[in-house]
Chains A and B, each alone.
Chain A
Amino acid sequence: NFMLTQPHSVSESPGKTVTISCTRSSGSIASNYVQWYQQRPGSAPTTVIYEDNQRPSGVPDRFSGSIDSSSNSASLTISGLKTEDEADYYCQSYDSSNVVFGGGTKLTVL
């Protein structure tokens, strides 16, 4: 089984841009889609990015996703940060028999 590694926490000021990384331990990051979920305290996760770089309807275009085969990682970028973006963010991928979540990144907007 592969693992997905995320930074434990990131912080940035309102209006700025932040990028959260998600590195796959084995196998190609491009072999299966990567998703990103936002989770606020006391709530279920919601999707902000699916299939590497697709935004569900209702998610603002300040959220974008990408993958980089050279570093075998995926990234979630949030531009024009708002205080409401403060939350935990999880990357997720899968293979034929397993679903894997990253450990989560706590985003602080201060």
Chain B
Amino acid sequence: QVQLVQSGAEVKKPGASVKVSCKASGYTFTSYGISWVRQAPGQGLEWMGWISAYNGNTNYAQKLQGRVTMTTDTSTSTAYMELRSLRSDDTAVYYCARDRQQLVLSDFDYWGQGTLVTVSS
């Protein structure tokens, strides 16, 4: 069965970076895209960006441009999301989600369990 398993919770200081992993199993990794979505405490869902696991093309949300990098390692079927220059308002649960399309943005059919990133001095 399709599974997306994310790395564990992180606590970071303001200005630091965090890298969250998302290991996929149960499907051909390069046949789909991966999006990252975050949810601040008590808030709604915010799309952060997308990467095609097929060719590595990315598309980032405008507000995060310059601070976020998404990559994949096809040898281990793992996607990564790195966020730099962390601020307190980056405190959130970060989800990876499988895009139903390989090469373009679409919708999400499977989600990781979420990774809590806390930014605090």
Inside 8 A of A92's CB, which chain B residues have their CB? 45, 107-108
Interchain CB contact under 8 A, A90 and B44: yes
Interchain CB contact under 8 A, A94 and B105: yes
User: Could you say which of B44, B109, B114 contacts A103, with CB atoms under 8 Å apart?
Assistant: B44
Q: Measured between alpha carbons, how far is A47 from B45 in the docked complex, in Å?
A: 14
Q: In the complex, how many angstroms separate the beta carbon of A6 from the nearest chain B beta carbon?
A: 9
Interchain CB contact under 8 A, A99 and B112: no
Chain A contributes a number of interface residues (CB within 8 A of B) equal to 25
Q: Measured between alpha carbons, how far is A33 from B114 in the docked complex, in Å?
A: 25
A110 contacts the other chain (CB 8 A): no
Q: How large is the interface on B (under 10, 10 to 19, 20 to 34, 35 or more residues)?
A: 20 to 34
Q: Measured between alpha carbons, how far is A92 from B107 in the docked complex, in Å?
A: 8
Beyond A1-B62, A94-B105, A96-B104, whether A44 also contacts B46 by CB under 8 A is no
Binding site for B on A (CB under 8 A): 1, 33, 35, 37, 39, 44-47, 50-51, 56, 90, 92, 94-104
Query: Could you give 27 example pairs across A and B, Cβ below 8 Å?
Result: A33-B106, A33-B107, A37-B45, A37-B108, A44-B112, A44-B113, A44-B114, A46-B111, A47-B107, A47-B109, A50-B107, A50-B109, A51-B107, A92-B107, A95-B105, A96-B105, A97-B59, A97-B105, A98-B47, A98-B59, A98-B62, A99-B50, A100-B47, A101-B37, A101-B45, A101-B46, A101-B47
Query: 7 nearest interchain CB pairs?
Result: A44-B111, A99-B47, A35-B107, A104-B44, A101-B45, A94-B105, A103-B44
Binding site for A on B (CB under 8 A): 35, 37, 44-47, 50, 59, 61-62, 95, 100, 104-109, 111-114
